[in-house]
A and B are shown apart, each in its own frame.
Chain A
Amino acid sequence: MGAFLLRRLLWMIPTLVGITLLTFLAVHAAPGDLAARVGDAESVASAAGSSGDDRELFRAEHLLDAPLWKQYLHFVGPFDLSPQGASAFGGSGAHPWHGVLALDFGTEFQRPGVPVLPEIGARLAVTGPLALLATLLLFLVGVPLGVASALSTGGLVDRAARGLLLALHSVPGYALGLALILLFGATGWGLLPVLGAHAPDAEELSFGARLLDRAAHAVLPLATLCLPGLAYVARQTRAAVLEVLDADFVRAARARGLAEKDVLVRHVLRNALLPIVTLLASILPALLGGSVIVETLYGLPGLGSYAYEGLLARDLNVILGVTTTTAVATLAAILAADVASAWLDPRVRTEVRGG
C-alpha cells in the first residue's frame, strides 16, 4: 500500500504542473494588458499621471515584463524572483520566498496588498462545507434511489425515478438555480432566503437561531448544486446493482434459499459498492465547477465566486491560486477514491493485508 500511495502521489506532480501551466498560458494568451485595470479606482480621485507610475510599479512587482518562464517559476516558487525577492536572484532580499512551494500565491491584482492564500482559505470555509454536504446528500439520496430503481427494473418506481432524474439532469444548473430563486425567494412563496451565507444580523442571533439561519441559507444552494448530479449518481448506482443482480453468485445464493434481504445486503450491495465509491472521484470536481454558478447566483463568498471575480478582473494570481487549489482538491478526491476502491477490492486487499 505504501508503494502504491507514493506512486500515486508522485504522479500528481506532473499533473499539477500541466494544469497550472495551461492556466498560466491561457491567461497570458488572452488579448489585453493584465495591468490595464490597475489604478482604476484611484484614478478617479488622483491625477492621471500618477496612475501610470502605479502601473509601472505593479508590472515590476508582479514580473509582468519578465519572460514567461521566469513568471511561471516565480509562481511555482519557492524563491521570489521579483525586485523585492531573494538576493540570490538579484532581488533586494526583503521578501525571499514566494510561490506554490512556499505556500504563497502572492497578492491580488484587484485589491493591491491583499494576499491570495488567506483569502482562498476564507472562501474555502464557505465552499468546503457546501461541497461536502452536497456529496453526502448526493450519496444519501442518489444511492438509495438507484438501488430502488434497480430492484424494480421496468416497474413503477424505476420509471418514475428515471423520468424525474432525466428531467432534472437536462435542466442546466443556472436555470434550475434561477427557477428555485423565483419559486422560493421573495418573488415567489418567500419561503427561503436567496442571498448570502447568513442573515445580515446573524451576529446578534442566539446560537440555535444562527444555526437555523445558516441552514436556511444553505438549502437552495445545496439543491441547485445537487439536483443535476443526482441523476448521475442514481443511474450509475442502478447500473452497478443491476450488473451484480445478474451475476451467477447471486442466483446461487437465491437457489440456496438465502432470504432476499440477505441476498441484497450480503451479496449484491457489498459488490456494487466498489463502482459506487469510485464515483466520488468524478463528483467532487463537478461540484467545484458547479459552485461557480451556485455561489455567483446566491451571492455566497466562496471559492467559486472568487474564481469568477478573478476571471472578470483578469487577476492572474487569483486565477492561478484558485486553479491550483481546485486541482489539488480534485487530485486528492481521485486519490481518495482510488485508495478506497483498492481497499474494497478483494484482490488488492489480500496483497495489502496478507490475508
Chain B
Amino acid sequence: MSARPLLVARGLEKRFALPRAPFAPRRVAHALRGVDLELVEGECVALVGESGSGKTTLARTLARLHRPEAGTLAWSARDGRELDLVRAKERELAPMRRELGVVFQDPFASLDPRQTVRAIVGEALHVHGLARGAELERRVARMVERVGLPHAALDRRPHAFSGGERQRIALARALCTEPRLVLLDEAFSALDAVRALELVQLLEELRREQGFALLVVVHDLALARRLAERVLVLYAGRVVEEGPAVAVLAAPRHPYTQALVAAATAWSAPERERAPLGGDPPSAASLPAGCAFHPRCPRVVDSCRVRLPALVPVPHSDGAVRVACPVVAEGGRGLASER
C-alpha cells in the first residue's frame, strides 16, 4: 500500500477556560496533552477511552473546529501540497473542508431542523462549488438513495425521520462531496443495536466504494475491532496505547487498556476474572501529577507519581504497538533480554 499520510498531528494541546465565579482563580481544563496521530489515506483508526478522556476534543481539533494551543497539524491536499491547519486562516482551510466529512453522536441535534434533506445533503457541494443546478440535484438524490432513503425524503425536514434515518442523512451529508477523511464521533451510540449494525454495514460498503480514510470514536471495543485497522487509547488527554486493532484489543499491554478490555468482556467472563477498574477518570481541570492513570493503576510504582510517561514501542507479535507506561515497557525489555 502506498501509504501517504493524509493528516499528521504532532504534540497537540487543547485547553478550555472553564467558567468561574467572579474573583475565583482562573481554571483550565486540559483536554489534550500532547497527542500524536498520523492518518494514512484510506485507513480506519478508532479512538477509544472512557468519557472525558478527550476523544471528542481530538476529533474536533483534527477537523479544526478547535484551534490547538500547541502542536502541529498538517493536511496533505489532493494536489500534494501541505496545508498547515494550525496557522491557516479559516478561508485557507477550504481544500481540507471540502475533503472532510463529519458525523456526530446525537442524531436529533446534528441536522438543522429548518432545512430539507435536499438542502442538508447538498449544502457542502454548493458551498465548495463542486456541483450546481441539475448536476447538484442528481448527486444529492443519488447520495440520499445510496444511504437507503426513498426519493421522497428529499423534500422532508429532519423531524419526519427516526434516529437511525437521521444518522443516514448525516452520513449522506458527510459523504456527498466524496471526502478523503470522515470523522465519526460516536455516531452509533444513540442507536439501538439493529440500527447501529445497519449503519455500520452501510458505512463499510460506502468505504469500499469511496475509499475514504475514517476516524471513529467508539465506546464499543468489538465495533472498534471490526471497523478499524488501528486503535488509539486515550486517557486524560494523552494516548496511552496505540497499535493495530487486533494487537491492542486482543492482547492489551497498558494497564488502562487491559482494564477497558476486561470491562468490555466482563459480562461473559467467569465471575472471578471480573476485575472492575476502580475509581473515576480524573477531571481535566485537576489532573494528578506524573502518569494521570497512577491513582487507579494496579501496577503503580513510585516513579509513576512524578514522571509523565512517553509513548514507546513495545514488542508485540501482532505488529508495532506503542505504550505509555515505563513499567510495561521495561518489563517487556526485561523479558526480551532474558531470552
Contact B109 A248 (CB under 8 A): yes
Residue of A254, A255, A258, A260 contacting most chain B CB atoms (<10 Å): A255
A253, CB-defined interface residue at 8 Å: yes
- Interface positions, chain A 224-269, Cβ under 8 Å from B, are 247-249, 251-260, 262, 267
B124 proximal to A (CB < 8 A): yes
Q: Mark contacts of B108-119 with chain A using CB atoms, 8 A cut-off: 1 yes-contact digit, 0 otherwise.
A: 011111100000
A350 and B112 contacting across the interface, CB-CB below 8 Å: no
Contacts of A350 in B (CB 8 A): 156-157, 159-160
Please indicate the chain A residues that have their CB under 8 angstroms from the CB of B63 in the complex: 255
Bound Cα distance from A260 to B127, whole angstroms: 12
CB of B220 within 8 Å of the partner chain: no
Segment among B95-103, B137-145, B258-266, B312-320 that sits at the interface with chain A? B95-103
Interface residues of A, dominant DSSP: helix
B104: interface (CB < 8 Å): yes
A247 and B123 form a contact (CB under 8 A)? no
Say whether A271 faces chain B, with CB atoms less than 8 Å apart.
yes
Give B263 Cβ to nearest chain A Cβ, in Å. Answer: 28
A257 touches B97 (CB 8 A): yes
Interface flag for B94 (CB, 8 Å):
yes
In the bound complex, do residue A346 and residue B97 qualify as a contact, i.e. CB atoms below 8 Å apart?
no
- Of B123, B160, B170, which contacts A258 at CB under 8 A? B123
For the complex, give the distance between the alpha carbons of A271 and B157 in Å.
14
A259 and B97 CA atoms in complex are apart in Å by 11
Flag whether A7 is at the interface (Cβ < 8 A): no
Residues of A163-195 at the interface with B, using a CB-CB cut-off of 8 Å, are none
A260 CA / B89 CA spacing, docked (Å): 12
Any chain A CB within 8 A of the CB of B155?
yes
User: By the criterion CB–CB under 8 Å, are B102 and A255 in contact?
Assistant: yes
Closest to A267 in B: B112
One digit per residue, 1 when the CB lies within 8 angstroms of any chain B CB and 0 when it does not, for chain A 317-355 equals 000000000000000000000000000001100100001
How many pairs of A and B residues are in contact by the CB < 8 Å rule?
Answer: 65
Taking the nearest CB of chain B, how far is it from the CB of A52, in angstroms? 68
- Is B36 in contact with chain A by the CB < 8 A criterion? no
> How distant is A43 from chain B, measured CB to nearest CB, in Å?
64
Given A249-B111, A346-B113 in contact, is the A254-B127 Cβ separation under 8 Å?
A: no
How far is B260's CA from A304's CA once the two chains are assembled, in angstroms? 69
- Kindly state whether residue B90 has any CB partner on chain A within 8 Å: yes
A270 within 8 A of B: yes
Chain B contacts of A249 at CB under 8 A? 109-112
Provided the pairs A346-B157, A346-B159, A355-B155 are in contact, do residues A257 and B98 lie with their beta carbons within 8 angstroms? yes
A270 CA to B114 CA in the complex, in Å?
8
Which residue on chain A has the smallest CB distance to residue B120?
A249
Q: CA–CA, A262 to B112, complex, Å?
A: 13
Query: With A247-B109, A271-B112 as given contacts, are A260 and B90 in contact (CB-CB < 8 Å)?
Result: yes
Residues of B near A251 (CB, < 8 A) are 60, 65, 102, 104
> What's the minimum C-beta distance from B115 to chain A, rounded to whole angstroms?
8
Q: Are A253 and B113 in contact (CB under 8 A)?
A: no
Given contacts A251-B65, A346-B159, contact A257 B93 (CB under 8 A): yes
**Are A347 and B159 in contact (CB-based, < 8 A)?**
yes
A260 to B109, CA, bound (A): 19
With both chains docked as a complex, state the minimum distance between the C-beta of A322 and any C-beta of chain B, in angstroms.
41
The chain A residue with its CB closest to the CB of B103 is: A252
Q: For B94, give the chain A residue with the smallest CB separation.
A: A257
- Which chain A positions have C-beta within 8 A of B124? 256-257
Q: Is B238 an interface residue (CB 8 A)?
A: no
Residues B3-62 near A (CB distance < 8 A): 60
**For the complex, is B254 an interface residue (Cβ under 8 Å from A)?**
no
B113 contact from A254, A262, A271, Cβ within 8 A: A271
Bound-complex Cα distance A270 to B94 (A):
24
* A247 to B177 CA separation, bound complex (whole angstroms): 22
Which interface residue of A252, A253, A258, A347 has the most chain B CB atoms within 10 A?
A252
Given known contacts A346-B113, A350-B160, A252 and B93 CB-to-CB distance under 8 angstroms:
no
CB distance from B55 to the nearest CB of A (A): 15
From known contacts A251-B65, A267-B112, A271-B112, infer whether A256 and B123 are also in contact, taking CB-CB under 8 Å. yes
- Shortest CB distance A268–B (Å): 10
User: Across the interface, do A252 and B127 meet the contact criterion of CB distance under 8 Å?
Assistant: no
Give every chain B residue within 8 A of A256 (Cβ-Cβ): 97, 100, 102, 123-124, 127, 173, 177
B165 within 8 A of A: no
Structural contact, B113 and A257, CB atoms closer than 8 A: no
A355 CB contacts on chain B under 8 angstroms = 155
Are A253 and B123 interface neighbours, CB within 8 A?
yes
Residue of A nearest to B60 (CB): A251
**Closest Cβ of chain B: how far from A143's Cβ, in Å?**
18
The answer to whether the Cβ of B106 comes within 8 Å of any Cβ in the partner chain is yes
Does B132 belong to the interface (CB within 8 Å)?
no
Q: Using a CB–CB distance below 8 Å, which chain A residues touch chain B?
A: 247-249, 251-260, 262, 267, 270-271, 346-347, 350, 355
> B: which residues have CB within 8 A of A?
60, 63, 65, 90, 93-94, 97-98, 100, 102, 104-106, 109-114, 123-124, 127-128, 155-157, 159-160, 170, 173, 177
